[in-house]
Amino acid sequence: MAEARINPNGALKGKVALVTGASRGIGEAIAARLAMEGARIAVSARTAEQGESRLPGTLQDTVERLRAAGGEAMLIKADLAQAADRERLVQVVEDTLGPVDILINNAAITYFMPVADFTEKRFKLMFEVQVYAPFHLAQLVLPAMRERRAGWIVNISSPAGLHPKPPYQAAGRGGVVYGMCKAALERFTTGLASEVYEDGIAVNVVSPGLVDTPGVAAHGLINERTRDRVQPIEYIAEAVYQLASGDPKSRTGRIDYAEPLLKELGVSPSSLI
**Distance of alpha carbon 24 from its chain centroid, rounded?**
11
The closest of 158, 32, 46, 57 to 107, measured between CA atoms, is 46
* CA Rg value for the chain: 18
Cα–Cα distance between 210 and 188 in angstroms, integer?
A: 23
**Which H or E run contains 176?**
helix 176-195
Q: Is-catalytic flag, 178?
A: yes
Catalytic entry in 132, 178, 235, 257? 178
Best CA proximity match to 151, nearest among 111, 184, 188, 199:
199
SS3 48: coil
How far is Cα 135 from Cα 189, in angstroms, rounded to an integer?
A: 9
Please say whether the beta carbons of 189 and 140 come within 8 A: no
Active site residue ranges: 178
